[in-house]
Copies of this chain bind each other. A is one copy, B any other.
Amino acid sequence: MSELRRDPLDQRWIIVAPERARRPRGALGIAAAPIEPVDPCPFCPGHESLTPPEILALREAGGHSNGPGWRVRVFANQFPALTVEGAHDQHAEGPYDAMRGVGAHEVIVETPVHDHDLSDLDGPALRDVLLCYRDRLVDLYHDTRLKYVLLFRNRGAAAGATLDHSHSQLIATPVNPIRISRKLEAFREHFRRKERCLFCDLLQHERHDGSRIIREEGGFVTFAPYASRFPYEIMIAPKEHRWSYGELSRHEADGLARALKDALLRIRLGLGDPPYNFVLHAEPNLHAVPRRGGFWDTLRHDFHWQLILYPRLTPVAGFEWGSGFYINATPPEEAARHLRGVDVSDEAVAAWRAARKA
């Protein structure tokens, strides 16, 4: 018997239907098509002239901008969805609403090593990437035309990546994305009624219940959300109330690096190294909202940031596109049990890497 579950963060119902996993080819339906190599790789050291000029880079003292020697490098996406010039220019087009594509679209190359995944980085290197996310968010939020910055990562062709070299992206938008607006509304409504953070309440329940917890690590909780849209969806969030990714400390970034690496390794070793996406649901831009009223006053109390990982295991089909309803054949409790059991010790990872090379 399947079950409908409502996501308390965006009020969307999803269907948990374990029966669907018995279909021909079952739950794991996506072919992991390789990305066609682009030669030369524009993200490799020495090819900096093939990208737009860098916005931010971490490099040893003495290195030159837009030359090699960097550990992390950020620049504008060469094929941007949104660009920074001009005003919003909201206007009508007949019966429709339109505005100019004001925003930002940046690429964060996380490592100079072409064939490294994020989970191949060591703790300090991964921490630096996470601090770069923070620094770009803080910098972009000085621009009050930008309402939101979404940080995301596409790994593998089926997850939408067109380049193989390890990278994340961010898109800054002039309106709050609909998933963020719905989440902000849910958070605010809960706080209005209870004067507590909705997410803190949910985390307390999850940690008490335990069935969906995958790991607690470095001040972060990793778990399978109750109303996961996708099989093996994973959420990582600070155990304590934290409303702002922009205020992430170096120490917290160390903990998040450990938690993220742990989760990525569980996906790679436990699910056969599938394509995946992750997204950071950070706070919206407080500089872009009126100082009085609205969420400016309460966001510090009602919002709680999260990082969400989506392994791309099944194609999304007509029912989902047409309804906004998602069918998930893997109950989150089963996903959590499986991922909890994956051995991600150094020895297991080394053995997995050796087997993969052979």
Q: Could you list 24 A-B pairs, sorted by A, with CB under 8 Å?
A: A1-B101, A2-B82, A2-B101, A4-B100, A4-B101, A4-B174, A5-B93, A5-B97, A6-B98, A13-B178, A22-B79, A31-B31, A95-B201, A95-B205, A96-B226, A96-B227, A152-B318, A160-B314, A169-B318, A169-B319, A177-B323, A178-B325, A279-B319, A310-B318
Q: How far is the CA of A321 from the CA of B322 in the complex (A)?
A: 15
Q: Count the A residues whose beta carbon is within 8 Å of the partner chain — how many?
A: 85
Q: What is the minimal beta-carbon distance from A313 to any residue of chain B, in angstroms? A: 12
Instruction: Return the chain B residue nearest A101 by Cβ.
Output: B2
Contacts of A315 in B (CB 8 A): 157-160
Contact with B along A11-29 (1 / 0, CB 8 A): 1110111011011110001
Q: What is the minimal beta-carbon distance from A188 to any residue of chain B, in angstroms? A: 17
Which listed residue, B23, B81, B148, B177, touches A2 by the CB 8 Å rule? B81
Determine whether the beta carbon of A1 is less than 8 Å from that of B83.
Answer: yes
Q: What is the minimal beta-carbon distance from A89 to any residue of chain B, in angstroms? A: 10
Determine whether the beta carbon of A13 is less than 8 Å from that of B175.
Answer: yes
Instruction: Return the chain B residue nearest A278 by Cβ.
Output: B318
Instruction: Return the chain B residue nearest A20 by Cβ.
Output: B79
Which listed residue, B2, B5, B174, B227, touches A83 by the CB 8 Å rule? B2
Q: What is the minimal beta-carbon distance from A185 to any residue of chain B, in angstroms? A: 13
Determine whether the beta carbon of B96 is less than 8 Å from that of A24.
Answer: no
Determine whether the beta carbon of B160 is less than 8 Å from that of A1.
Answer: no
Determine whether the beta carbon of B81 is less than 8 Å from that of A322.
Answer: no
Contacts of A310 in B (CB 8 A): 318, 321
Q: Is A165 an interface residue (CB 8 A)?
A: no
Determine whether the beta carbon of A98 is less than 8 Å from that of B4.
Answer: yes
Q: What is the minimal beta-carbon distance from A265 to any residue of chain B, in angstroms? A: 19
Q: What is the minimal beta-carbon distance from A118 to any residue of chain B, in angstroms? A: 13
Contacts of A174 in B (CB 8 A): 4
Contact with B along A144-172 (1 / 0, CB 8 A): 00001010111001111111000001010
Determine whether the beta carbon of B318 is less than 8 Å from that of A154.
Answer: yes
Which listed residue, B36, B99, B314, touches A25 by the CB 8 Å rule? B36
Contact with B along A268-283 (1 / 0, CB 8 A): 0000000001111100
Q: Is A8 an interface residue (CB 8 A)?
A: yes
Q: Is A180 an interface residue (CB 8 A)?
A: yes
Q: How far is the CA of A180 from the CA of B17 in the complex (A)?
A: 21
Which listed residue, B96, B159, B180, touches A317 by the CB 8 Å rule? B159
Q: Is A67 an interface residue (CB 8 A)?
A: no
Contacts of A358 in B (CB 8 A): none
Q: Is A94 an interface residue (CB 8 A)?
A: yes
Contacts of A20 in B (CB 8 A): 79-81
Determine whether the beta carbon of A1 is less than 8 Å from that of B169.
Answer: no
Which listed residue, B1, B8, B94, B324, touches A100 by the CB 8 Å rule? B1
Contact with B along A90-127 (1 / 0, CB 8 A): 00011111111100000000000000000000000000
